[in-house]
Structure 1
């Protein structure tokens, strides 16, 4: 088969849900009194939107091949990401063979290194990379998981992230991860509320259901250590992203001070093999949680996962819908997956990137067989308005 080349690349933005799942209406659990680094300031404590968590919006990248096949992907990136794609990255893509993904990743990363390395630039590179894998799968008429070597299990099993682990248990998930609501600035009263909420949820779900807390970079080492030891009475399975993602030394110390049965997990806001190398070589955590839409895409996640395997660490990607499902099903060191409960009250299962993607597979009784549709197997919803702020 003659392999097509890349003919054209387009970048769009979308508002309201989608890949920027923090872009929600008022009253959504994902925004309501969640502990953050800015919660030390009372005026930014009640809502994460108050300090701009929803400012970016969704980035959509479409890549059209010379045979007319179109691959696409979505991530958090908005107009800034669209500018980077249209005004910089396209020079590394158009004209290349659709198979040359490793080369294109190398060109994009090292071509933006003078202003990139992490953050929004890596989000953008991730989106392009995922679109390339989607395109290659469609050209070859194979699902991405087959391109990655094929599945190592018949189905995925999930834990749920949301405000109601007790409801997630009834839906068949293996565990529930709650957002921590009160940070160090709320003192002993806040600490007690966090512990009481955990104890109440443990009473609701019984002893065998996993319970975890997502701390979203909001704690310091002293608070996190004390909280972990107090929380072990309620059987907390892990404490997630307790510290700033730049504090590798703090994470290493936290892991040394943890109760024996409790894990330290992090990596949602880390990027590239070099960032995860720091976490792994310094012994910062038991499980890494790269977001495939932020860490460098599938191409980089392959390298990150190999590093973790060599360090006997688990890799359970941060919730990113089909983009992580196709990877997790091919890796032995990814024994389960995260499902983000995007219903405002976390009381029903809805597609994670709703309303932007069509055909997103959903877990049933906490399990899912990844569909064998070519590429990532999803479509853009034509009812969502795409805006192309820049062209080349």
Structure 2
């Protein structure tokens, strides 16, 4: 089997200006595979699309089943990418996902079977980023009552776990700056955060789980300040309390007692090993669309299992990368919970692929179709910038 041509897609803007980026890899056996770079927002999508254009010609004529050979060719073929980084690793991720999609279709099995078989038949999920609100026409949560309402909506959809950034918006709906969030949170700010957190706990009840999400905008001191206040509300884990610097994350865990989660800004097994060695992370969150794809993330998950760190794949892309994430989480022993991101369940985003995977009573189904279990929709080709390679 050989790769004959590749299509690169940069979609038209969908909700909130996101522009998802896809690849389709074709073979001489008529089988094709799809992949995605999970960098569709945040001012980096053009760079990621350009990186795909640099890498794609290197793959023409290669055997797509030789994923290790391909991964290493792309990694070592980019002189500036040896230590990882979102643009280089995002492009590698997209191509790697496509290779696994081809492999599954070639052998007529889901990817989870190629990873050793599924260990569970469905995946517990949490509703993520509820401060943004739900659905079309949503408004940002600002008052404690808003936070109670978005939590109630999540519960009505079957979720018993939520992830919220309580530090994002002021009471008037404008965002707090990075410098409002570090190095010290004012008492008024702390009181607002606690009122919001208490409203969520009171609504969710004693048996639900709350994940704190700070998007790396607090620092070692302000995150510790917040964590010590929050721990009485029985926090499941504290995601990105600061940038993923090992010593600072270890300090926050040591001084709050709350498990720390990070990974969406880490891009290789070497970066994860450093944090695990230093006890800086208890829940790892690699993203299949930015961390080197299935080939790399499987290595990272196996390594984390040795450290007894749990795994929650970071999910912030189209339903294509959601399907890939479900495949991985079904097969790894260290899985803890799946991220259902409300930013990615908007109608235009869901229309980018042929299928969607939605929770049933707060649990995600596992794809059973060959390959990743999802494909780029034909209409996405019509509404994207498309570059043909080969």
Which residue of 1 is the match for residue 196 of structure 2?
197
Q: Tell me, in whole angstroms, the C-alpha distance in 1 between the residues paired with 2:279 and 2:102.
A: 37
Deviations 1:46-66 (A, max 9, x none): xxxxxxxx5xx3211110011
Which residue of 2 is the match for residue 107 of structure 1?
73
CA RMSD of aligned residues (A): 2.0
Relative to structure 1, is the Cα distance of residues 244 and 368 closer, same or farther in structure 2, using a 3 angstrom cutoff? closer
The 5-angstrom pairing of residues 258-297 of structure 1 reads 258-259=256-257, 262-297=258-293
Which residue of 2 is the match for residue 184 of structure 1?
181
CA deviation after TM superposition for structure 1 residue 389, in Å: 5.0
Q: Contact 1:266/1:289 (CA < 8 Å) preserved in 2? A: yes
Q: Tell me, in whole angstroms, the C-alpha distance in 1 between the residues paired with 2:215 and 2:112.
A: 30
The 5-angstrom pairing of residues 295-306 of structure 1 reads 295-306=291-302
Q: Contact 1:126/1:292 (CA < 8 Å) preserved in 2? A: yes
Counting matched residue pairs gives 345
1:315 aligns with one of 299, 311, 317: 311
TM-score, reference length from structure 1: 0.83
Which residue of 2 is the match for residue 243 of structure 1?
242
Q: Tell me, in whole angstroms, the C-alpha distance in 1 between the residues paired with 2:325 and 2:314.
A: 8
Question: Which structure 2 residue ranges, 5 or more long, are not aligned?
Answer: 40-44, 131-149, 169-175, 316-320
Deviates more, 1:193-202 or 1:379-388: 379-388
Q: Contact 1:152/1:331 (CA < 8 Å) preserved in 2? A: yes
The 5-angstrom pairing of residues 11-22 of structure 1 reads 11-17=8-14
Which residue of 2 is the match for residue 386 of structure 1?
384
CA deviation after TM superposition for structure 1 residue 104, in Å: 0.4
Question: Which structure 1 residue ranges, 5 or more long, are not aligned?
Answer: 18-22, 26-53, 344-348
Q: Tell me, in whole angstroms, the C-alpha distance in 1 between the residues paired with 2:348 and 2:126.
A: 14
Q: Tell me, in whole angstroms, the C-alpha distance in 1 between the residues paired with 2:96 and 2:61.
A: 16
Q: Tell me, in whole angstroms, the C-alpha distance in 2 between the residues paired with 1:336 and 1:351.
A: 24
Deviations 1:213-236 (A, max 9, x none): 110010111111111111122222
The 5-angstrom pairing of residues 141-160 of structure 1 reads 141-160=108-127
Q: Contact 2:160/2:204 (CA < 8 Å) preserved in 1? A: no
TM-score, reference length from structure 2: 0.83
Which residue of 2 is the match for residue 50 of structure 1?
none
CA deviation after TM superposition for structure 1 residue 97, in Å: 1.6
CA deviation after TM superposition for structure 1 residue 207, in Å: 0.8
The 5-angstrom pairing of residues 46-57 of structure 1 reads 57=19
Q: Tell me, in whole angstroms, the C-alpha distance in 2 between the residues paired with 1:255 and 1:67.
A: 51
Name whichever structure is richer in helix by fraction.
2
Equivalent position SS for 1:109 = helix
Which residue of 2 is the match for residue 73 of structure 1?
35
Which residue of 2 is the match for residue 10 of structure 1?
7
Deviates more, 1:112-121 or 1:205-214: 112-121
Which residue of 2 is the match for residue 257 of structure 1?
255
Q: Tell me, in whole angstroms, the C-alpha distance in 2 between the residues paired with 1:151 and 1:338.
A: 18
2:90 aligns with one of 119, 123, 139: 123
Deviations 1:110-146 (A, max 9, x none): 1114246211111111011001111111122111111
2:25 corresponds to 1:24? no
The 5-angstrom pairing of residues 199-218 of structure 1 reads 199-218=198-217
Q: Tell me, in whole angstroms, the C-alpha distance in 2 between the residues paired with 1:129 and 1:88.
A: 12
Equivalent position SS for 2:202 = helix
Q: Tell me, in whole angstroms, the C-alpha distance in 2 between the residues paired with 1:100 and 1:308.
A: 25
2:26 aligns with one of 38, 41, 64: 64
Equivalent position SS for 2:331 = coil
Deviates more, 1:329-338 or 1:75-84: 75-84
Deviates more, 1:174-183 or 1:57-66: 174-183
Q: Tell me, in whole angstroms, the C-alpha distance in 1 between the residues paired with 2:337 and 2:186.
A: 35
Q: Tell me, in whole angstroms, the C-alpha distance in 1 between the residues paired with 2:125 and 2:81.
A: 37
CA deviation after TM superposition for structure 1 residue 353, in Å: 4.2
Which residue of 1 is the match for residue 145 of structure 2?
none
CA deviation after TM superposition for structure 1 residue 16, in Å: 2.4
2:128 aligns with one of 161, 165, 172: 161
CA deviation after TM superposition for structure 1 residue 368, in Å: 2.9
Q: Tell me, in whole angstroms, the C-alpha distance in 2 between the residues paired with 1:157 and 1:351.
A: 23
Which residue of 2 is the match for residue 377 of structure 1?
373
Q: Tell me, in whole angstroms, the C-alpha distance in 2 between the residues paired with 1:225 and 1:328.
A: 30
